[in-house]
Structure 1
């Protein structure tokens, strides 16, 4: 087709403009394989923008309904719903269906269904859609022993079943039962499985593993994933890899694969571009943040004000979150800190925890601050061993450390700690910084608080000034929690 004609068609049908080129190409190839010519397609070009599964189902439903093959063309497909609402009598009169065909029996002839259960009576005043619905109910009731009323309810909930080929339904049910060992009861309890795409299930089974687990185990526990297109799962895996999230992180929340790949990408971008959430990108539980992103966004600002952002609180259920809220404390979850630092410092978690527990307030410092301080020190060329030796330095604000580094270099009476060029030896710098940060606080540990944020009153002798408001950003702890601290 000449370029100008193609452009004219695309300008006329916006649906073609908005469809992925790969899908358009697939549909054209599929229709030509079925027997349509390029001329047939060009007369009704909008049909190429129909979803491939919908296109396949429409053609198969028309075949099952008894349509002459030469009558199945792009124009009929584009008007499928209109034809579906026509009576069998009218379709026969218009020469779409042979006069001698019993449409009910014709549909059932495509299926493994006992002939002695075929309907005895047939009313040609029924529409094609009504006949297909009645046969669907009859077949599903027999195939998986599903109550007739429940089949009707499934149709009301899952509208796709109205336009689903019974041949594809039969294939899907057979694969679920024979390859995935699903019981009939399981399919009855999850009726959306009836409209799953059998070809997609086969492709999913070829994955062998998903979320680091056997694919059959995952699909058995989370059957809704069966509805996710195989291509979408591959795209999600690529997005996770690009953002450095191991697929095994999804083992606790495989439901992520029920979301669209674009949605996953957008959620990953939110996590990466939000400083408080970026700290959790390498956490094994990061999938919970991705899955519950709306809840996470709602809670984030509130927890920021309390200075106690943690992965657990961001993604926990309402009861657990309310319990924390009523407790009155502002501790962060130590597991978040431990996981981050064990990865960064290559240190044993238990050993790190013992070191941090020597500081009274370590559980009140946000992971964001610890991460920023760690990255600052790393950029200043301090080694992991030097940071581990003075690990409490990570609890202090970066700006305070920056000032203390200058002070440390100008300290008097420490000539025995200097190099021949007059600078402090690198292994002594961080201990001196810690000394300076705590000296004015009598080594109580209170140097971790940000006094430049109107929090000086927190250490005031006036108890009435030691009350904080919920909407303040708490970079401190309630005075009742302040205990003596000895820097070691």
Structure 2
């Protein structure tokens, strides 16, 4: 038998699910029939107009919301083939257009007047018509004022309306006149006036009913005063339903900040869809990023979920960047992912990536160039070492910083090496053991590894020694420093000590100490971990 190959895309990824194209068309038609109560003839027309291919890329949630808007606002569905371009509109745009028609006195609204077909938009075309033509088209009495009709929706009486404005109604287009009414209401009743605000095209056609409702929520529920609104006038163009969803469904406190506090810090959070905001908050919880700075928290809303996870995973798999996964500025680093990876690649070529910190990655260009040219050197600054101690040992171990600072070269140790040394030690020793010998984190892993192996062999139980893990680690630190006459030079990757060790003298001193360590009656064995450490460093 002949085999026929079909070039078919079996699955498509949409709404976070895998959906088969075979069921997509029936699913969309089922959504339309359920939410718009369409009959069999209407469904047949939609099939003929290839509703599947035209609506496949639109999120299911948007289709449902638009259907609900059309149903609740009693839009006539006479020509069901015009339904598809209407469903492609954003829910906010669709609702605004319908409300604007209603506010201007249009009693019966059909799909034809609100649709958009490629570059042709019937709604915008109607807004360019004269007020007299608009009244005639929608059977509005000629002697009835459009302004009175508009303001009747917000309970403004005739006495409160400027009669001069009403007289100018016949000398302009209906769209311009509607905008003029909105400007009048904003200035005299909302007490908001900004000429630049009205010049922006995206604010041209905003429903007065929606704006009034939105203003009430922003002032009363979000606790935003008029000065704040004047400074952030774009919030008057936010989808009021989305604002209500944010306030009702987002009850999470992040970094001791409530939703109201976040709105005041970053009003643009209201521009994001509630599902995206929830996803971002969930990511912060999943990755334990509750300690992020407020600016970092807000920056996270600009990154979609998949990109966030991808970049976080990239950092986690990077030896140079995974050290900063718990840093308060991590989300900033994720946002500037491309810039940071480019800088890291550049620093690797110059062999200076081990000394980089968060400021190196996020600083401006001039600062970064000074760093790679050698004018600046970032190593073990107090705040960065504190961050590493908190990350690896917990908040209650921050006092160990004072012991680390006693080392003469603690500021010269690369942060990345400190982090790697701690992770290496945690594989074989408990946190308490490491904390009792905290200065060992300043030493290279290779030296620690070699010294520990020699100590295990030389002072093993088979040879009559019975040391604890804390004592082995203390002995390792002692032997490392003894080699360099306790000058601190043991921290360098390459030996730079100017001292020439006396081998016989060193061996004698070490053996003498070991004998004292191994005698049970000796008072040294009865010392606590910290006292033991201090004794070794005497």
Shared fold, TM over 0.5:
yes
- The corresponding residue for 1:82 is 125
Query: Within 5 Å, which residues of 2 pair with 1:60-79?
Result: 60-69=99-108, 71-73=109-111, 76-78=114-116, 79=121
Q: Which position in structure 2 is the counterpart of 1:378?
A: 426
Q: 1:344 is matched with which residue?
A: 392
Q: How does 1:309-458 map to 2 (within 5 A)?
A: 309-315=356-362, 328-346=376-394, 348-379=396-427, 381-411=428-458, 414=459, 418=461, 426-435=469-478, 437-438=480-481, 440-451=483-494
What is aligned with 2:208?
A: 166
User: What is the CA-CA distance between 1:170 and the residue it aligns to?
Assistant: 1.3
The one of 167, 176, 192 aligned to 1:130: 176
Q: Distance in 2 between matches of 1:421 and 1:58?
A: 90
Contact 2:389 2:398 (8 Å CA) reproduced: no
Say if 1:137 and 1:36 are closer, same or farther in 2 by CA, change over 3 A. closer
Q: Which moved more, 1:296-305 or 1:82-91?
A: 296-305
Post-superposition offset of 1:201 = 2.9
CA distance in 2, matches of 1:109, 1:295: 54
- Residue 242 of structure 1: CA displacement? 1.8
1:257 positional shift: 6.0
> For the residues of structure 1 that align with 2:171 and 2:87, how far apart are their CA atoms?
32
Cα distance, 1:8 vs structure 2? 6.5
Q: Give the unaligned 5+ runs of structure 2.
A: 1-24, 30-43, 500-535
Cα distance, 1:236–1:6 mapped onto 2, change above 3 Å = farther
* 2:191 is the counterpart of 1:121: no
Contact 1:312 1:333 in 2 (8 A): no
Q: 1:141 aligns with which of 187, 192, 198?
A: 187
Going from structure 1 to structure 2, the CA distance change for 1:68 and 1:245 (only over 3 Å counts) comes to same
**Structure 1, 113-122 or 44-53: larger mean CA deviation:** 113-122
Which residue in 1 is equivalent to 2:271? 227
* Matching of residues 442-481 of structure 1 within 5 Å: 442-451=485-494
* CA distance, structure 2, for counterparts of residue 98 and residue 367 of structure 1: 78
1:250 Cα deviation after fit: 4.2
Whole-Å Cα distance in 2 between the matches of residues 257 and 92 of structure 1? 48
State the alpha-carbon separation in 2 of the partners of residues 114 and 294 from structure 1. Answer: 58
Higher relative contact order (CA 8 A, sep 6+): 1
Q: Which moved more, 1:290-299 or 1:213-222?
A: 290-299
Is the 1:228–1:257 Cα contact (8 Å) retained in structure 2?
no
* Residue 83 of structure 1, CA deviation: 2.7
Matching residue within 216, 221, 234 for 2:260: 216
Distance (Å, rounded) in 2 between the aligned partners of 1:250 and 1:112: 45
Q: What CA distance in whole angstroms lies between the structure 1 residues aligned with 2:369 and 2:181?
A: 51
Give the Cα–Cα distance (whole angstroms) in 1 for the partners of residues 144 and 267 of structure 2: 39
Query: C-alpha distance in 2, partners of 1:75/1:443?
Result: 87
- The answer for the alignment partner of 2:237 in structure 1 is 195
Deviation of 1:356 (Å): 0.9
1:113-167 alpha-carbon deviations (Å, 9 max, x no partner)? 45332423234463332122212221111134344xx23x11334x431132111
The residue matched to 2:356 in structure 1 has which SS? Answer: coil
TM-score by length of 1: 0.77
